[in-house]
Amino acid sequence: MAERPIYLDHFASTPIDPRVLDAMLPYLKDRYGHPGSRSHVYGWEAEQALEAARARVADLIHADPAEIVFTSGGTEADNLAVKGVAEAYASRGRHVVTSAVEARPVLDATQALADRAGGVVTRVPVDARGRLDEAAFAAALHPDTVLACVTAADAEVGTIQPIAACGAACATAGVLLHVEAAYASPWVSLDVRSDGVHLLSLSAHRLGGPKGAGALYVRRREPRVRLVPLFHGGGHERGLRPGAPDVAAVVGFGVAAELARVEREARSRRVAALRDRFESMIRARLAGVTAHGDPRGRLPNVSSLAFDGVEAEALLMGMPTVAASSGAGCTSATLEPSHVLRALGVPDPVAHQTVRFSLGFQTTDLEIDRAIEAVLAAVARVRSLGAPPPVRPHG
């Protein structure tokens, strides 16, 4: 059996932590009750498991468990936040503000408001590092603005955004703030209270949990956020997300959230060191390599590199021993250049030469060493077909 590639696409999805899987298995086998069944032990077990997971997810972002609404994933959470607020507060206005580097579900949901409901969307620019222009963000908030959306860290170059500053601006303007935190949550400490966040989206499969589970934090006081649900039936999750929850997936989500909270600092230090070694070795031995993003203010696990003279798709096909990506998990099915790189001012030809390598807390030193050699060899092969920049000697 062929050896599986080195996995450096953790931004797209992460492998399930073995401890998470162990916690899920009983709810896939023997504990199969519905948490809404209140008359027998099967239902009691499911409800207790659901509420324990809710508390763990809440602890990850310093929220109250009653403020956590479980969803099928981050995309549903984003849509519930954007569309739920827009409909609930339609009488106030239809203006929504986002950053130019939002996750695709947020961009698409806000664009749908503009296209179908007569809404107006303002996209606030970022600088060449991918950082939001705070002054432009504050200036974009108008009396008819009902919602502002800012990603905690983008899905391409991982630049960390000034959420607390955005929260303060929204508080001054009386605007609700939604934060997409799926990519940041494994690596960055999030505090919805101190940062002034009103809604926040999470995804289990991006922090060592299973696919099919996500959550939306919905503030309950100062102010209490109102939402109109996307669909109806059953009254589950405070009436905001009806339907029988996937208890096993939610249990796994809870354990993954607790592990991320407890192990975050140690994971971040180790993975950042691996990422830095990966980048420095490649850039020391290859000319014509450009790194995107903020070198001092990005997530510790991402490296977005453009290789002169090498199309990203050709490079990915030329190194089958490494699994990486030419775009975010939500957008890599399209051949369009990344909207994040475009927002950074990266020319389309350079964007098409960019590969995103994203590490995980399970990535090993040996895997990084092997990946470095694979990238060097693949770039050399692809460049040999054209007119490559010179390869720097090792050492």
Mean pLDDT of the region 2-26: 95
End-to-end CA gap in the chain = 36
Marked catalytic residue, from 149, 166, 170, 330: 330
| pLDDT at residue 1, as a whole number | 57
Q: Which residues of 241-251 are buried (b: 16+ CB within 10 A; e: fewer)?
A: beeebbbbbbb
How is 235-303 classified by DSSP, letter by letter? Answer: -TGGGTS-S---HHHHHHHHHHHHHHHHHHHHHHHHHHHHHHHHHHHHHHH-SSEEE-S-TTSB-TTEE
Q: Which residues pair with 216 in a beta bridge?
A: 69, 201
Q: Percent of the chain, pLDDT > 90?
A: 87
Active site residue 330: yes
pLDDT tens, residue by residue, 118-146: 889 999 999 999 999 999 999 999 999 99
Report the range of poorest mean pLDDT among 24-38, 184-198, 346-360: 24-38
Query: Rg for the chain (alpha carbons), in Å?
Result: 22
Per-residue confidence at 18, pLDDT binned at 50, 70, 90? very high
Q: In whole angstroms, what is the distance from residue 304 CA to residue 333 CA?
A: 18
pLDDT tens, residue by residue, 152-167: 999 999 999 999 999 9
Is the backbone peptide bond immediately before 223 cis, with ω within 30 degrees of 0? yes
Q: Which residues contact 365 (CB under 8 A, 6 or more apart)?
A: 274
| pLDDT at residue 389, as a whole number | 47
| pLDDT at residue 394, as a whole number | 42
pLDDT tens, residue by residue, 247-262: 999 999 999 999 999 9
Total Cβ atoms within 10 A of residue 61: 24
| pLDDT at residue 329, as a whole number | 42
How is 195-240 classified by DSSP, letter by letter? Answer: TT-SEEEEEGGGTTS-TT-EEEEE--SSSPPP---SS-SS-TGGGT
116 has a pLDDT exceeding 90:
no
| pLDDT at residue 246, as a whole number | 94
Per-residue confidence at 244, pLDDT binned at 50, 70, 90? confident
Domains of the chain: 6-12+264-384 (3.90.1150.10), 18-259 (3.40.640.10)
